[in-house]
Structure 1
Amino acid sequence: MSEEKKQNIDIEINDQVSDGIYSNLAVINHSPTEFVVDFIQMMPGVPKARVKSRIILTPQHAKRLVNALAENVRRYEAQFGEVKEQQSTAMPFNFGPPGEA
């Protein structure tokens, strides 16, 4: 049985990226070869929402992201308590129709 070796990666982040981008809506679409996630910022009283960032992932990386997010939510809830899903009349995160990218 072989042991998996963990690889250390030196990651850099510039000041602009480290500030982050606020998003309160995500639209997810996919094709046979990629997932496209648009992070959107909707402001109250403004009829037009703006895509603030677009991330394009392979299906394998999309699945890894889903698993990593689930694990981090589990850890968060273990430390801070259950995250309750907010019921709202605003648009929820959108998992767009299959096959569109």
Structure 2
Amino acid sequence: MTLVNKAARPRFDVRIPGDLESGVWANFATIRHSPYEFTLDFVRQDFKGESPVRGVLVQRVNMSPMFVAQLIDVLNEDFSIFERQQSESLRDGSWWEVPGDDE
């Protein structure tokens, strides 16, 4: 995929309805596809040591294969930037430490 010069990229004015501003938390996802679309189900699972693990579907997103390919490209690009910025804390696990938590 050829990246477009950032200055030439269109600007978007996306309005977020109030009930969606806080977003949702997901810690698990399932993916299904047909020749025409992909469906991503985002789930919040509660890990209480129970089997089966219980979860709640928090969002279902349907998208075209072309959009999935573009999303994968931009996620890879952005995660590479994140890894470079956070490489030390990712390696030593300090990104997970909570200040003042001595346990």
In the alignment, what sits opposite 1:24?
27
Is 1:49 the counterpart of 2:52? The answer is no
- Between the aligned partners of 1:76 and 1:18, the Cα distance in structure 2 is 23
- Between the aligned partners of 1:32 and 1:77, the Cα distance in structure 2 is 33
How much has 1:78 moved relative to structure 2?
1.2
1:32-71 correspondence runs (5 A): 32-45=35-48, 47-71=53-77
Higher helix share: 2
Give the SS at the match of 1:55.
Answer: strand
Return the TM-score normalized by structure 2: 0.70
Computing the radius of gyration from Cα coordinates, the structure with the larger value is: 2
In the alignment, what sits opposite 1:80?
86
Which segments of 5 or more consecutive residues in structure 1 lack a partner in the other structure?
85-101
- Between the aligned partners of 2:38 and 2:57, the Cα distance in structure 1 is 16
How much has 1:11 moved relative to structure 2?
1.0
Count the aligned residue pairs.
82
Which amino acid in structure 2 is aligned with residue 70 of structure 1?
N
Which amino acid in structure 1 is aligned with residue 16 of structure 2?
I
Task: Point out which structure has higher relative CO (alpha carbons under 8 A, 6+ apart).
Answer: 1
Which segments of 5 or more consecutive residues in structure 2 lack a partner in the other structure?
92-103
In the alignment, what sits opposite 1:92?
none
How much has 1:7 moved relative to structure 2?
1.6
